[in-house]
Amino acid sequence: MSDAAEPPYDYVVYIDEAGDIGTKEVRPVAPKGSSEWFVLGAVVISAESERSCPIWVRDILKVIGSTQRADIHFQKLEDWKRRLACATLAKKPVRCFAVCSNKRSLVSYRNARVEVMRNKDWFYASMTRYLLERVTRFVAEHSKKRYGQIRKAKIVYADRNGINVGQMTAYYEKLKEQTRSGRMVLTRGNLVWDVYHPLLLKRGKADAIAGLQCADLVASAFFKACDHYHTGGCNTLFANQFRSRMARMPDRQSGKIAGFGLKVLPRFAPDNWRPEQATIFKDFGYPDEWWSDLPTSKPYVRWNA
């Protein structure tokens, strides 16, 4: 399903965030700084399910008794409604991803490769790279099984921080060119570029797009699981509702969630965190985790885009 101006696509990826994007002053080092953690959550669906997302949201609202509302926002819900909302979404045909960054390690870090971008853009762009490495790998493997070839995905970002789609597209195109030329800087992972197309990169308001509200539930559930200072304490109950829907590599019950469906950055480091902050990552398999086995220092996919 696609508009005339878009390439055809067979998957849709909705991406939302939880936590603050700032990296200059971070809690608890700076008591009034931005959140210690930043989480990107993604929900992947088939293109056929795109029209079902508003129905799913209405189902969730009905279950939690909030039929007077037209949208869902995790932060505004009571805990019992959060649990039910997450559990109801987990019954739908989705695959969920979360990338969680402990930003204390980034206070003094700057990535020279994306320094030309605004501060919030370079951090957000680097986070989306880790997320899309996993999402595009999942879509590629799933579509090869279903269609016999790699199919494309539309990627929709929630426009919560005024992200610049032009900047993001330029960043991805630079990564793609580095892959073509064998000049990758970070070589332990990469996007599967046959899944991506710049004309399928979108942004939208979460309160107007049901799929983004689903992604908000995922991002916010994992943020609540690992954050302490912004949310009043860690609670893993909500994130654990998604266990059956978290992406695994490979996509079967024996596959790993840790490192694939759930990724912690820069690394699993419980000695540097409050004890309860490590619980959600242990629940999903850490410290053992999946690592990409794709050769990323040279092109490894067919170039259709």
Q: Could you tell me the pLDDT band of residue 2, with boundaries at 50, 70 and 90?
A: low
For residue range 258-272, list pLDDT tens digits in order. Answer: 999 999 999 999 999
More confident residue, 28 or 101: 101
pLDDT at 119 over 70: no
Residue 213 identity (one-letter amino acid): Q
The pair phi, psi for residue 94, each rounded to 5°, is -130, 160
The 3-state DSSP class for residue 13 equals: strand
More confident residue, 67 or 211: 211
Across the range 78-84, mean pLDDT stands at 97
Domain 11-283, CATH number (from 1.10.30.50, 2.30.38.10, 3.30.9.10, 3.30.420.10): 3.30.420.10
Count of other CB atoms within 10 angstroms of residue 76 = 11
For residue range 44-57, list pLDDT tens digits in order. Answer: 999 999 999 999 99
Say what the pLDDT of residue 294 is. Answer: 60
Say what the pLDDT of residue 184 is. Answer: 65
The ranges assigned to domains in the chain are 11-283
Say what the pLDDT of residue 33 is. Answer: 81
When the pLDDT of each residue in the chain is averaged and rounded to a whole number, the result is: 88
Angle at 27 between CA 24 and CA 28, to 5 degrees: 130
Across the range 2-8, mean pLDDT stands at 77
- Whether 178 and 288 have beta carbons less than 8 Å apart is answered as no
CA 56, 75, 21, 133 torsion: positive or negative?
A: negative
For residue range 29-42, list pLDDT tens digits in order. Answer: 778 888 999 999 99
For 155, residues 6+ apart whose C-beta sits below 8 A from its C-beta are: 13, 15, 132, 135, 196, 200, 201, 202
- Whether 256 and 289 have beta carbons less than 8 Å apart is answered as yes
Ordered strands of the 153-158 beta sheet: 201-204, 153-158, 11-18, 37-46, 95-102, 262-265
Q: How far is residue 47's CA from residue 65's CA, in Å, rounded to a whole number?
A: 29
DSSP classification of residue 170? H
Please report the DSSP string for 275-297 in residue order. GGGGHHHHHTTTTS-----S--S
Across the range 137-143, mean pLDDT stands at 97
pLDDT at 210 over 90: yes
Specify the pTM: 0.91
N-terminal to C-terminal alpha carbon distance within the chain: 17
Say what the pLDDT of residue 179 is. Answer: 87
pLDDT at 138 over 70: yes
What is the β-pairing status of strands 153-158 and 95-102?
unpaired
